[in-house]
Chains A and B, each alone.
Chain A
């Protein structure tokens, strides 16, 4: 319980679901052999951290940011640039990761000082503008960032499929597997760290600010300081998740780490899972990534089956899946504001 910082799931059903997800992710290479399922599992791990760090901001502090993918991208590009310019090895990964996280925290500090000082709502608008400017900058400065094509880079040989160690229970133990466990282990640690943060006295103050910032200020907490610190922490963790993503993919590009679409995905995952509960990130990210992988195929099939009807095939076109995401998003904010975790906890 100490590991969970005293914040139990508080619902039998939720405990079972979380345990199930944990076991599936921990044993993914053995339970679901295959390249595609391993990709999915790694994606889930990374998005759990990314979404949990966003929840620290949205769910716990009550600040809306549209720059979370920017911080994610900073971490990813940090690793990519370090790997391109330094010798191949773990040193480059470490330098890139640290540099990305520090850069993200500093940028968050500057944005936060500018916008959170006046009113929290500025923050949403300013982050949107800054994130858009950074995305344009990254795709324009192709000499440094590779532009729209992004960057391919080499990671240490120990983390690539070429590094073979043998076989256990019919599963080949190679560098890819080690890479997966690097992602899994780091994600788990970051997740527990976030759980620790939100259940600390610091996290309690954040919740107080979310509920009533005026009263929190009156009680004697410096609201701006807490908000800015939460923003920086959240940005740094997002950058670390970005570094993991880059190490896993061995590639970064504007579409994979910086696009506004990922920002929407994160928002949806937080809302579906449940705002203000770090566990919500686990449930939300898992459901969403699985749905994303398999729903589009389903929509394509549905579109074919109604080919004769007017308008319907267009609505069900797999390219229009954002439309349904948007509808789902609005409906869940209205009717499902506490998300899955909130519902499960409410029953218990």
Chain B
């Protein structure tokens, strides 16, 4: 019998530097907010910009979360996701315009009720549409990335054109419900009420998603499926069914995002989803494919950067997102918090 090899295991905990390096993605948002404060200087404009950046980020997160999960679970990349954003916006805004008496009233209950109804209608329609889209467009091309990209782009075009057939080719202008107009003054900064609402909705959704993923069985299956789908199937779960559910939920969230974005911009066009998709893709890439938390951080970073840069040097705002993506990919080529192994 030979003697045990001579080694002394070290039990030291992580040093401060290592801890910081691990938490870096999470720290990026506060760091960026601080940097913004230093660069901008005045508290009031910094506060206004930060809130609008956060609001924008939250809305992008709502649209991006479904996409990143769908990719993580089934390795499906859905370029048609943007169509759900547009459809959601058109359905929701149509409902709002139909409820003119509610949105025009000076009552918070009626106003919020109208928005809730609009959101509800939009989510149902886009959820159903997502279900159909998955069956007709995506299912025949599982496992073939090339065809997936081509076919979902085709689907995006068809849905966008159908919007133009149904609602006409012109953009639709709208005004927000009475109680959501205007701004509140806080510490000398004017903060639009609607932006506060958007931040609140985004935060609630994020917390809700965290709870579903961390505390429920379905969340456990989804997370396990993202990490190792074959193993989950071997344990007897029908991942396909879970996947369809996630796809529908993701589409419905895109619809929600569409309504909120439409109310934010106060104008909707059939091409808005396609434009948002560019931001959504940037968020999904810098967050790390398949990671909801990564998408959340990425969305906040994109929203904040865009608002700060637009204020500081308006000329650069056009390419600030590309710059952000480049910087993050140089630092972490897989994105900040990648879940899916590189294939």
Contacts and interface: CB of A to CB of B under 8 A. Distances in A.
Interface in A95-150: 114-115, 117-122, 124-126, 128-130, 132-133, 136-137, 140
Given A125-B284, A130-B322, A137-B318, A330 B161 contact: no
Given A118-B342, A137-B318, A329-B154, A323 B161 contact: yes
B118 to A, nearest CB: 25
A267 B153 CA distance: 10
Nearest to A115: B329
Given A114-B329, A326-B155, A315 B165 contact: yes
B141 to A, nearest CB: 8
Interface string A235-273: 000000000000000000000000010001001000100
B282 A129 contact: yes
A203 interface: no
Contacts of B275: 132
Interface in B95-150: 137, 140-141, 145-147, 149-150
B22 interface: no
A311 interface: yes
Contacts of A260: 274
B322 A133 contact: yes
A129 B325 contact: yes
Contact of B155 (A128, A317, A319, A330): A330
A326 B158 contact: yes
A124 to B, nearest CB: 5
Given A124-B149, A129-B321, A129-B322, A314 B165 contact: yes
A119 B164 CA distance: 35
Interface centre among B77, B150, B282 (most CB of A within 10 A): B150
Contact of A118 (B137, B282, B334): B334
B321 A333 contact: no
A183 to B, nearest CB: 29
A300 interface: no
Contacts, number: 101
A118 B332 CA distance: 10
Given A136-B318, A323-B158, A330-B137, A64 B149 contact: yes
A156 interface: no
A84 interface: no
B342 A119 contact: yes
A154 B342 CA distance: 50
B38 interface: no
Contacts of A175: none
A323 B157 contact: yes
Nearest to A122: B285
B339 to A, nearest CB: 14
Contact of A137 (B169, B274, B319): B319
B43 interface: no
A328 B303 CA distance: 37
A101 B319 CA distance: 22
A257 B157 CA distance: 20
Interface string A295-314: 00000000000000001001
Interface centre among A62, A118, A317, A329 (most CB of B within 10 A): A118
Nearest to A270: B150
Contacts of A125: 77, 281, 284-285
B326 interface: yes
A319 B131 CA distance: 29
A62 B153 CA distance: 16
A319 to B, nearest CB: 7
Contacts of A137: 318-319
Interface residues of A, number: 42
B157 A325 contact: yes
A118 B289 CA distance: 12
Contacts of B146: 58, 62, 64
Contact of B165 (A117, A130, A320): A320
A325 B153 CA distance: 11
A231 to B, nearest CB: 15
A228 B328 CA distance: 21
B150 A64 contact: yes
Contact of A117 (B140, B153, B333): B333
Contacts of A132: 275, 278
Interface string B311-343: 000000011011001100110011000000011
Interface centre among B77, B140, B277, B278 (most CB of A within 10 A): B278
Nearest to B284: A125
Given A118-B333, A325-B157, A330 B319 contact: no
Contacts of A329: 150, 153-154, 157
Given A64-B146, A121-B145, A333-B150, A129 B165 contact: no
A217 to B, nearest CB: 12
A183 B239 CA distance: 54
A330 B158 contact: yes
B157 A326 contact: yes
A326 B321 CA distance: 29
A40 B277 CA distance: 34
Given A118-B334, A121-B145, A128 B277 contact: yes
Contacts of A128: 277-278, 281
A328 to B, nearest CB: 9
Interface of A: 58, 62, 64, 114-115, 117-122, 124-126, 128-130, 132-133, 136-137, 140, 260, 264, 267, 271, 311, 314-315, 317, 319-320, 322-323, 325-327, 329-330, 333-334, 337
Interface of B: 77, 79, 137, 140-141, 145-147, 149-151, 153-158, 161-162, 164-165, 169, 274-275, 277-278, 281-282, 284-285, 318-319, 321-322, 325-326, 329-330, 333-334, 342-343
7 contacts: A64-B149, A118-B342, A129-B322, A133-B318, A133-B322, A329-B154, A333-B151
Given A137-B319, A330-B137, 5 more contacts: A62-B146, A125-B285, A133-B319, A330-B155, A333-B141
Per CB-CB distance, the 4 closest pairs between chain A and chain B, nearest first, are: A323-B161, A326-B157, A330-B154, A326-B158
